[in-house]
Amino acid sequence: MNQSLQTNPDGFSAFGTTAAQRNRVLRNTYALLALSMIPTVLGAWLGVATGITSLMTPGVGAIVFLVGAFGFMFAIEKTKNSPAGVPMLLAFTFFMGLMMARLIGTVLGLSNGASLVMTAFAGTGAIFLGMASLSTVIKRDLTAMGKWLFIGMIMLLVAGIANIFIQSSALMITLSVVSMGIFSAFILHDLKRVQDGLETNYITATLGVYLSIYNVFQSLLALLGIFGGRDE
């Protein structure tokens, strides 16, 4: 059952962290999130420039993505409390940028591709700012929402893998729209966890928010490419 976050006179939340501690984790999360955009852009640029990801078939690309992503996430979880945690996270974001290069390269191949990429970037930024602002005004615990979002994410993953073989444009559009909704809600959920003191490790917090932003951008860019792209 949802419940309001309560704070005692000493500034401790119901989850045992002070307001200062929660604010520090939130600041570190935002700072590391901003830093993570640099290797992401570098990875995407390298992938587009070299065309390395376009050499892989969709099936091989999916396997490389899943093995690499889950391998990195496992390593980040193991190193989150050590000095290796931040470099591991940044290496992961470089890999994720590299894996997005196929989609970005396809969109950039359109006559208005550059503007579509910038529109997707601006739209993702607006969604993030909206969810971040909303997380500061909602007073109720959103933990229960996370369970349903996780189930939705798993269903998205399964359907996305299936569509590699089905190659349905309608399913791709549907998945992109649903993905934007689920991961936008995940941004709100994960930031609220930090503000409530439920998440006290800024590397873990950054990883969760980064993955949501990544999926929102990817889904929005795919939709813009489908509906707003011009060949000439």
Dump pLDDT digits (tens) for 39-93.
Answer: 999 999 999 999 888 888 888 888 999 999 999 999 999 999 999 999 999 999 9
Domain boundaries, the chain: 19-228
Q: Taking residues 99-108, report their average pLDDT.
A: 93
Query: What was the pLDDT predicted at 143?
Result: 85
Predicted pLDDT of residue 65: 92
At 232 the pLDDT is 57
Q: Which residue has the higher pLDDT, 138 or 10?
A: 138
CA quadruple 37, 43, 44, 46: dihedral sign: positive
| 3 state SS of 140 | strand
* pLDDT at 6 exceeding the cut of 60: no
pLDDT over 80 (residue 5): no
pTM above 0.85, yes or no: yes
Closest residue by Cα to residue 96 from 104, 106, 84, 108: 104
* Spatial separation of the C-alpha atoms in residues 17 and 230, rounded to whole Å: 52
